[in-house]
Chain A
């Protein structure tokens, strides 16, 4: 297999930094290793240094994000696919400039954020309820499956059980049991599956078996 120099370099950097950071985080201050703890403790200092570097780099990506936002919408304003797209991009660019200027005049009171952004987000949050009802309706329209029926039955029992009516006390007990036993077990199962997959994929990335960078996706 032909391996390019740049690609080998990427892999080496990932493996070295990944192994050192993981080892540093795992050994901690070395107290769990008794007498040999003092020998492995410097790994923790190195991993902390790497993590601090990552934090600085991530903070810098905000600048990249703002540049991307402005350039994408400037291009859309000129060559947008339609009037709606151009208008939306124009509103975004004007809002950006207005927010920037307004902040210069009054940095304590963020007029646009508090009076426009938050209000619109609250309206959107209210719409989510209708979107979820629409989703439940759509689940019924898609056809009857066992999974769909269980999902709907569970949802209805929990919703009705949440009503503060004394007549519904037996149903509330069913709701409590559903939440405590099957729902909790299912949620833990899903989360354990995700955790295992994350662990395996992370290890494969660190040892260079999975490569989501360079020009090859994965090589063994």
Chain B
């Protein structure tokens, strides 16, 4: 990394540290409605009433690379989605195409059951690894059969997906399953927007904990992200004005 870029990176990280430590609101600010988070608790209820499992797919999100934080956030959303569904006769299923995410998926399931005092009902086989194959098509192929084989009630697909997400969503639509989809890739987001019943675009997944956890301090993350976003917008506008002034001033 070039020295000047290194210094800028350090400054950004230090600024984020400072903002994270300073922002500690006890009473959360109102948040804009996001349909995926509004409907997620209903999907758990549907799963319980129909005795059909809720599926949470983490896709190609993996630990140990640039997707690590996305994976943690997806697992966090999965935790809140699974928690109410743990009382269902059909236990929720968590799938991943990355082996590094499998221990996290197992732990997320276990924590969700433990939080409801139902650790005896927890089954390790509800966390499943489906190898992705060279183009992640094997994983999406597996999910299309999973919907029929395990009689799923709905799909919650949070993680990393590409264009292969279209196969899963088309299959889910034919079966009349409700779908929530999100992806870290732009291709996956475009497919999710067009085909999922409820899509999470951009950084919306990162705010999920505050919506689903309903704990005041979880909203501080969203507030920090929003403040950082406004700070970035101001910097971009300032740089644009500076460039225009340079261009037309000389």
User: Which residues of A are at the interface with B, using a C-beta cutoff of 8 A?
Assistant: 22, 26-28, 31-32, 54-55, 58, 61-62, 64-65, 68-69, 71-72, 75-76, 80-82, 84-85, 88, 117-118, 120-121, 124-125, 127-128, 130-132, 134-136, 138-139, 147, 151, 187, 189-194, 196-205, 207, 209-210, 212-215, 217-220
Given contact pairs A61-B99, A151-B193, A128 touches B166 in the complex (Cβ within 8 A): yes
Given contact pairs A58-B64, A134-B173, A200-B228, A32 touches B189 in the complex (Cβ within 8 A): no
Which residues of chain B have C-beta atoms less than 8 A from A191's C-beta? 186
Q: Can you list 17 A-B pairs, Cβ within 8 angstroms, ordered by A?
A: A58-B100, A61-B102, A65-B131, A76-B125, A117-B133, A118-B134, A131-B167, A139-B195, A190-B189, A194-B184, A199-B12, A200-B221, A201-B73, A207-B21, A209-B20, A209-B220, A210-B209
Check A132–B166 contact: CB distance below 8 A.
yes
Given contact pairs A61-B100, A193-B203, A201-B206, A220 touches B221 in the complex (Cβ within 8 A): no
Stretch among B30-38, B40-48, B210-218, B240-248 lining the A interface: B210-218
Which residues of chain B have C-beta atoms less than 8 A from A207's C-beta? 17, 20-21
Q: Considering the chains assembled together, what is the distance between the CA atoms of A124 and B167 in angstroms?
A: 8
The answer, among B6, B21, B73, B128, for a CB contact under 8 Å with A26, is B6
Check B76–A217 contact: CB distance below 8 A.
yes
Check B173–A138 contact: CB distance below 8 A.
yes
Closest Cβ of chain A to B47, distance in Å, is 14
Closest Cβ of chain A to B153, distance in Å, is 13
Q: Considering the chains assembled together, what is the distance between the CA atoms of A214 and B7 in angstroms?
A: 35
- For residue B58, CB closer than 8 A to chain A, the reply is no
Q: Closest A-chain residue to B71, C-beta based?
A: A212
Closest Cβ of chain A to B243, distance in Å, is 16
Which residues of chain A have C-beta atoms less than 8 A from B75's C-beta? 212
Closest Cβ of chain B to A82, distance in Å, is 6
- For residue B129, CB closer than 8 A to chain A, the reply is yes
Check A32–B3 contact: CB distance below 8 A.
yes
Which residues of chain A have C-beta atoms less than 8 A from B191's C-beta? 132, 135
Closest Cβ of chain A to B237, distance in Å, is 14
Check A218–B149 contact: CB distance below 8 A.
no
- For residue B194, CB closer than 8 A to chain A, the reply is yes
**Interface size of B by Cβ–Cβ distance < 8 Å?**
84
Closest Cβ of chain B to A198, distance in Å, is 5
The answer, among B114, B202, B217, for a CB contact under 8 Å with A218, is B217
Q: Considering the chains assembled together, what is the distance between the CA atoms of A76 and B193 in angstroms?
A: 34
Closest Cβ of chain B to A145, distance in Å, is 11
The answer, among B6, B80, B207, for a CB contact under 8 Å with A32, is B6
Check A128–B228 contact: CB distance below 8 A.
no
Which residues of chain B have C-beta atoms less than 8 A from A198's C-beta? 69-70, 206
Interface string of B94-133 (1 = CB under 8 A from A): 0000011011000100010011000000001101111101
Q: Using A58-B63, A84-B145, A207-B17 as known contacts, list a sample of 12 further A-B pairs with CB atoms less than 8 Å apart, ordered by residue number in A.
A: A58-B100, A71-B124, A84-B148, A132-B191, A139-B195, A187-B186, A194-B203, A199-B13, A204-B224, A207-B20, A215-B111, A218-B217
Which residues of chain B have C-beta atoms less than 8 A from A121's C-beta? 133-135, 137-138, 141
Closest Cβ of chain B to A54, distance in Å, is 5
Q: Which of A85, A190, A194, A220 has the most chain B CB atoms closer than 10 A to its own CB?
A: A194
- For residue B163, CB closer than 8 A to chain A, the reply is yes
Given contact pairs A32-B6, A220-B217, A197 touches B140 in the complex (Cβ within 8 A): no
Check A81–B138 contact: CB distance below 8 A.
no
- For residue B178, CB closer than 8 A to chain A, the reply is no
Which residues of chain A have C-beta atoms less than 8 A from B99's C-beta? 58, 61-62, 64-65
The answer, among A64, A76, A134, for a CB contact under 8 Å with B103, is A64
Check B129–A68 contact: CB distance below 8 A.
yes
Interface string of B1-23 (1 = CB under 8 A from A): 10110110110110011011100
Check A202–B69 contact: CB distance below 8 A.
yes
